[in-house]
Chain A
Amino acid sequence: MPGIELKNVTKTFGSVTVIDNVSLSIRPREFMVFLGPSGCGKSTLLRMIAGLESVDAGEIWIGDRRVDQLAPGERRVAMVFQHYALYPHMTVRENMSFGLRNVKLPEAEIDKRVDAAAKMLEIAHLLERKPGQISGGQRQRVAIGRAIVKEPQLFLFDEPLSNLDAALRVRTRLEIAQLHQRVEAAMIFVTHDQVEAMTLAHRIVVMNNRKIEQIGTPMEIYSRPATTFVASFVGTPAMNFSPVELSDGPNGFVSARLPDGAIVATRIDKASLPESRSFKLGIRAESLDICPVGQGQTAGVAQFVERLGDRTLVYVRLSDGTTVVAEDAGNSRVAINDKVGVKFDGGGAHLFDDQERGHHAVLEGNST
């Protein structure tokens, strides 16, 4: 099975550049997720791979074939659209076989593929119905079935779960993951939902403002964000940020002093940090624990308390007026306006320089 290679791909609409010199390699059978906010260019990039948008500069390769000049139908890709894009006047069977008929596959082969896909997706009983006679979730399965029967080299999913209700979204997400295990092809999945990205992807491409911010495994993206944007976009609640002054800490690491005077001893190697006019400390809620006043590095007043069952998020206003989100146990007794202490786990701290680049705690035998 072939991999996919994007080389310096650029797309402009008039004078506006919507994809700016993007290069990317997708391995054979890899499940890649394009993650980013609306308007970041992720869907445009997907559509360029599909052939639905022209490529103004650069090249797209699928295996050893350069495809960016080929018509969409000649690229051996299949796409599942956000709004299903089924043909409403055709039955489910006709929808699934339409593409196969266009390439003049023998009828017996068409029936075989359609029946097999329908069985796999549990829609065999719907084959003679029209899209208007089935539910939204079933329509999405038909759309996936239409992609499967083509036996493509690459599956493209353009926010396919966004029209489904929460329960169905979880179920369909799982089914897509199972589908990936059954088929040989690579998959690219576009979403703005970080949970979908984290749960489905082998690797995530985080995009912002027409460019790739970071490519990495879900845990790399989460625990070692390359930029401030990635750190703030991935993870719920969003990472806490605060401007800090750095000083020498123990073992060659740096310590960060927050505006309210709290000192956080990080595990970030001082030697790895670049010259920068300023640094921001980034730290996730799970590295900030609520504790009795006096036992943490700093203290403040609880502004909001969100009880999530297994844990409690406490929004604490510090003495300098900034608010941080800290975590407490599920059965936390903290109430609004309580004075609480905040304990920083320096091992979970990140520093971001004035170019917004992230610097992280030292890994075993490694540094950034």
Chain B
Amino acid sequence: MTTQLSSGAVGRGLGDRVILAATIALAIVMVLPMLWAVGLSLKTNAELLVDTNSVLKAPWTLRNYYDILIGSGVFRWLLNSIIVSVGMSLGVLALSSLAGYGFARLEFPGRNVIFVLVLFGLAIPEQAVILVRHQLFSDLNLHNTYAGLMLPGMSAPFGVFLMTQYFKAIPTEVDEAAMLDNASRFKIFWRVLLPMTLPAQATLGIFTFLHAWNDYWWPLVSGTNEQMYTLTVGIASTQMNFAESAGLGYLMAQAVFAGLPILIVYMFFQKYIVRAVSGAAA
């Protein structure tokens, strides 16, 4: 019995070690390009033109970061990205919560049909609608506005689906207790049920924020004025030639700079992100 237990423990220990080694290897594969980008950002363009392997050797410089601080539009793009990402996240949370509550709790004609129609939105790729959307936004003079950058992302079928399922999982007894406590329907939604959906909102908010931050295509189409570039579009616009044989260090410095906010988001919301991803996997 003891022997069996021991060999089982050894087996488990070995398995754990293999998994740990594989995880470390994968982490290195993930982190190396980022470290490489940081390294490139600390080298002068002249050195990089000669040999990019010079990253590994001194001297290093903060010149590229200095150039960003004095001459680049990156601060403006950063601000745009923050406004668009936060605005879109708040919009998705508000709309998805209200829609989810409606689908989960309210009785109205055609509820199921409308819900299925919303879910159909999950199956429609952005490429299929982007031309029509571009035309529509053009007619409405929404291009090169924050509203124009945020609105498309606010129609979030996944968010509606997630919040609907989450509201459905809350026992209706809670609503009923609040009804007996003389709460209005809005108060039940706002004070009782909505706070209970915070884990789902954290998940949805984080995913929406990351999606909005990394989005490239729609901001490229809609934000054609340099003042309305988001970070992704702005950084891409600073490529000096196709092969990026010149200005590589400067570009990488901007990329690192652009990545800092998202890194901060990860650091502060790591717990929620892990929970969100594992929850989505489950």
Contacts and interface: CB of A to CB of B under 8 A. Distances in A.
Contact of A85 (B176, B183, B191, B195): B176
Interface residues of A, number: 24
Given A85-B171, A87-B174, A99 B182 contact: yes
B51 interface: no
A102 interface: yes
Given A85-B171, A102-B187, A73 B179 contact: yes
B173 interface: yes
A81 interface: yes
Contacts of B198: 89
Contacts of B182: 73-74, 99, 102-103
Nearest to A158: B173
Contacts of A88: 196
A249 B181 CA distance: 61
A78 B196 CA distance: 23
Contacts of B118: none
B28 interface: no
A105 to B, nearest CB: 10
Given A72-B176, A87-B174, A102 B192 contact: no
A73 B181 contact: yes
B178 interface: yes
Contacts of B176: 50, 52, 72, 79, 81, 85
Contacts of A51: 179-180
Main secondary structure of the interface of B (DSSP, over half): helix
A140 to B, nearest CB: 13
A88 B177 CA distance: 12
Main secondary structure of the interface of A (DSSP, over half): loop
B262 to A, nearest CB: 29
B196 A73 contact: no
Contacts of B177: 79, 81, 85-87, 146
B195 A99 contact: no
A98 B192 CA distance: 10
B173 A73 contact: no
A78 B174 contact: no
A55 interface: no
A336 interface: no
A87 to B, nearest CB: 6
A77 B180 contact: yes
24 contacts: A51-B180, A52-B179, A71-B179, A72-B176, A72-B179, A73-B180, A73-B182, A73-B183, A77-B180, A79-B176, A79-B177, A81-B176, A81-B177, A85-B173, A85-B177, A87-B192, A89-B195, A89-B196, A89-B198, A98-B181, A99-B181, A99-B183, A102-B187, A103-B182
Interface of A: 50-52, 71-74, 77-79, 81-83, 85-89, 98-99, 102-103, 146, 150
Given A81-B176, A89-B198, 7 more contacts: A50-B180, A52-B180, A74-B182, A77-B180, A85-B174, A87-B177, A99-B183
